[in-house]
Amino acid sequence: MRKHPDEYLTGNLTAMIDVVFQLIIFFVCTVSLQDTVIDARIRLAMAPSGRPVEKKDPREVYVDVAPNGDIRVLRTPLSRSELAQMLKKMVLDNRGAPIPVIIRGDEGTRHKAIQQVMDACAYAGIWKIKFAALKERGS
């Protein structure tokens, strides 16, 4: 008996829809981690005695400082003056209250570059800063 031509066109889409939903769930759940993901070029120094990061403040600003002294915020390269202006504006937007700044410097970065970030923080009126480090080296 010969099949009707329409029978060849019908397919079972269940598996494909399942995979599409899996992908949607995965991307929805991981998209918010993009902001805090560590820049792969920055090798953080070890601090085994540091307290683990428990709760995160949504106002936190991560400033990445590469070994060559490049300053980046959210992967955007900034000069020292641009960083200072940005932090100042954020402090003003926060009704003058200082915002938490976390400096993620490479272990080989010279302090001169870190000093530039600290000076930018000082310009914005931020006197308490944090240095990001690793409690243990991942495999």
Partner 1 sequence: MARKRKKSELHAGELNLTAMIDIAFQMLNFFVITAKPMDVLTNLDVFRPSPDAPPPKEAKPPAVIRIGVINGGLLLNDRQASIPMLRDFLEQMAKLDKAQTVLIQCATDSRHGQLVEVLDLCNRLGLTNLSVVSAS
**Per rule CB under 8 A, is residue 40 in the interface with partner 1?**
no
- Contacting residues for 39 by C-beta, under 8 A, at least 6 apart: 64, 66, 72, 75, 104
**Per rule CB under 8 A, is residue 131 in the interface with partner 1?**
yes
Chain centre distance of CA 100: 14
* Stretch 100-119: interaction string toward partner 1, x if CB under 8 A: --x--xxxxxxxx-xx--x-
Choose the stretch contacting partner 1; rule: CB under 8 A; options: 1-9, 78-86, 89-97, 99-107: 99-107
Tell which one of 16, 20, 26, 94 touches partner 1 (CB under 8 A): 26
Q: Of 65, 51, 54, give the one whose Cα is nearest residue 108.
A: 65
**Per rule CB under 8 A, is residue 51 in the interface with partner 1?**
yes
13 vs 19: CA distance, rounded Å: 10
**Per rule CB under 8 A, is residue 96 in the interface with partner 1?**
no
SS3 34: helix
81 vs 44: CA distance, rounded Å: 25
Tell which one of 4, 40, 49, 55 touches partner 1 (CB under 8 A): 49
* Residues lying near partner 1 in the complex (CB under 8 A): 14-15, 18, 22, 25-26, 29-30, 44-53, 65, 102, 105-112, 114-115, 118, 121-122, 126-136, 138
